[in-house]
Amino acid sequence: MTTTPSLQIGQKVPSFSLETTNNQTVSEKDLTGHYTVIYFYPKDNTPGCTTEGQDFTQAYPNFEAENTVIYGVSKDSIKKHENFKSKFDFPFELISDPDETLCNIFDVIKLKKNYGREYMGIERSTFLINPEGELIQEWRKVKVPNHVKEVLEAVQNVKN
């Protein structure tokens, strides 16, 4: 089985187009002109994913002050995303990636183990894109506590 090489630091995000909450569509063109944080999470309404979304929500004004747009991504449907977003009042859009388009670009589908069961799923990961649409930093196998603070510091450091 051949796999496409994932996006590397310094490379532009390739072309894609996916549906987001609020009846919007996002493509690689929407990742230019500002910094962008794209965070991948396994599933809506699960404890870690909820905490991560709430952490990004709490830090949202700080990201806005740094001209940074945030997108959360999972394979959940738009309907589930809309419910998740409104339930926790997330100020950013969630991208639905049921066909793993963006997941494959960023190579976040990994073999996971849960209660002795193995399956392919999203490995919690975050990516920072510069205003030219290039990947400049990545966090893989993310642990939720303090992660958002780390991402915000990275945005602030890259701009200074």
Please give the positions annotated as active site: 49
- Return phi, psi of residue 65, to 5°: -65, -25
Distance CA 103, CA 122 (A): 7
Of residues 45, 13, 47, the one with CA closest to residue 128? 13
Alpha helices in the chain (DSSP H): 47-65, 78-88, 101-105, 147-159
